[in-house]
């Protein structure tokens, strides 16, 4: 199934080749979870702060729920600013 995978700020370096504008469309197996997508792309768990699926925040305990075809997975690191 196809999903859109977005990584922002310092996490963008973990996107596969061919990504543009911080996103790429991926083919993932049925039942794939946000955690699995992040693991498959070697995104360090300690850098992941916000995880959204279709614009809805997923708490850490919810990140093992299966994605659906067409879902958009967006991930941000913790960002400091002033």
For every residue of 4-56, DSSP letters joined together read: EEEE-GGGGGGSPTT-BTTEEEEE--TT--HHHHHHHTT--GGGEEEEEETTE
Calpha distance 11→9 (Å, rounded)? 5
Q: What pTM did the predictor assign?
A: 0.93
CATH of the domain at 28: 3.10.20.30
| Domain membership of residue 72 as a residue range | 2-77
pLDDT tens for the chain, 82 residues long, are 999 999 999 999 999 999 999 999 999 999 999 999 999 999 999 999 999 999 999 999 999 999 999 999 999 998 755 5
- Token output for 60: 């850490």
Calpha distance 76→62 (Å, rounded)? 16
Question: What pLDDT shows up at residue 78?
Answer: 87
The verdict on residue 82 lying in a domain is no
Domain count, the chain: 1
Helix (H, G, I), strand (E, B) or coil at 77: strand
């Amino acid at each position: 199934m196809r999903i859109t995978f977005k990584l922002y700020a310092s996490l963008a370096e973990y996107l596969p080749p061919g990504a543009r504008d911080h996103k790429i469309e991926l083919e993932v197996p049925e039942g794939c979870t946000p955690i699995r997508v992040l693991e498959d792309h070697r995104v360090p768990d300690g850098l992941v702060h916000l995880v959204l699926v279709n614009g809805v925040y997923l708490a850490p305990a919810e990140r093992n729920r299966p994605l659906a075809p067409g879902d958009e997975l967006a991930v941000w690191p913790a960002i400091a600013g002033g």
